[in-house]
Structure 1
Amino acid sequence: MSSPYIKSASVAAALSALDEGRTPERSVLREAVRALLTLLADGAPGRSVEVRVPPYGAVQCVPGPRHTRGTPPNTVEMDPETWLGLATGRLDWVRAVTEGRVKASGARADLSAYLPLELR
């Protein structure tokens, strides 16, 4: 994944499109999702939780036991718009999980301590 410093404009562009009720361009949304996933991995180093935002990316993060084969026991999955909201503080973790916008499984899958991300 590329540097979040370079891609921060894509986050702003994606959020702007969503605020205007438009769907962000696919390439902008992809870059925004990947930039924010990179920030998460940098801010919560580890390999015990896999965070998936299909179809744009996935990272392993959060300190704890490392997972190496098959489906990790701690997974978090959501759509790109939900990820943008959570990562930027526009959406609360508990609300997103309660509304079914986030699928989280495993004892370490609660990312509320790491969100929202500090944008650079």
Structure 2
Amino acid sequence: MPARLRPASAGEVAEALARVAADTAERADLKLLTKHYLALLEERAPGRSVEVRVPPFAAVQVVEGVRHTRGTPPAVIETDAATWIALATGQLEWATAVGDGRVVASGERTDLAPYLPL
């Protein structure tokens, strides 16, 4: 069973966000922030009915409902790290990201707007 994601320390998050804002972020910053915000989403929206994927860094199952156990989940959300970080920090609205094609969401319960920003 994969290790559960854990939020990063406040200092690590602040430093990584500063580098993102200054457009000097490195892959390690994107990875840290992606995993941090996915961990927060797990806490805010516990469950296993929707899989949120942010390749290549991590994926989590969230939102109450029918539990997914094998194969392709019936509800999937996929986006890139920069978009996920913007959604999690409130710099981008869910509807805008979906409408612009920056987020691909299919299946039931894939509207994360009630849980964002984190």
In the superposition, the TM-score normalised over structure 2's length comes to 0.89
Structure 1 unaligned residues grouped into runs of 5+:
none
Which residue number corresponds to residue 62 of structure 2?
61
Correspondence for 1:12: 14
1:26-75 Cα deviation digits (max 9, x unpaired): 12211111011011011100000000000000000000000111110100
Q: CA offset at residue 12 of structure 1?
A: 2.4
Q: Which amino acid aligns with 2:9?
A: K
| Aligned-pair identity (%) | 53
| Superposition pairs of residues 17-56 of structure 1, within 5 angstroms | 17-22=19-24, 24-56=25-57
Deviation above 4 Å: which 4+ runs of structure 1?
A: none
Deviation sequence 1:84-110 (CA, Å, 0-9, x none)? 010111110000001110000012111
Point out the more displaced range, 6-15 or 89-98: 6-15
Q: How many Å apart are 1:2 and its aligned residue?
A: 4.8
In the superposition, relative to structure 1, how do residues 2 and 47 fare at CA in structure 2: closer, same or farther (>3 Å)? closer
Q: Distance in 2 between matches of 1:68 and 1:94?
A: 28
1:8 and 1:49 map into 2 onto residues whose CA distance is 27
Counterpart AA for 1:91: L
Kept in 2: contact 1:46–1:63 (CA 8 A): yes
RMSD: 1.4
Which deviates the most, 102-111 or 24-33? 24-33
Q: How many residues align?
A: 115
The verdict on how the C-alpha distance between 1:9 and 1:77 changes in structure 2, with shifts beyond 3 A counting, is farther
Hey, what's the Cα distance between the residues in 2 that align with 1:100 and 1:116?
19
Give 3-state SS (helix, strand or coil) of 1:113's partner.
helix
Name 2:97's counterpart in structure 1: 96
Q: Is the 8 A contact 2:6 2:35 kept in 1?
A: no
> What is the deviation of 1:80?
0.2
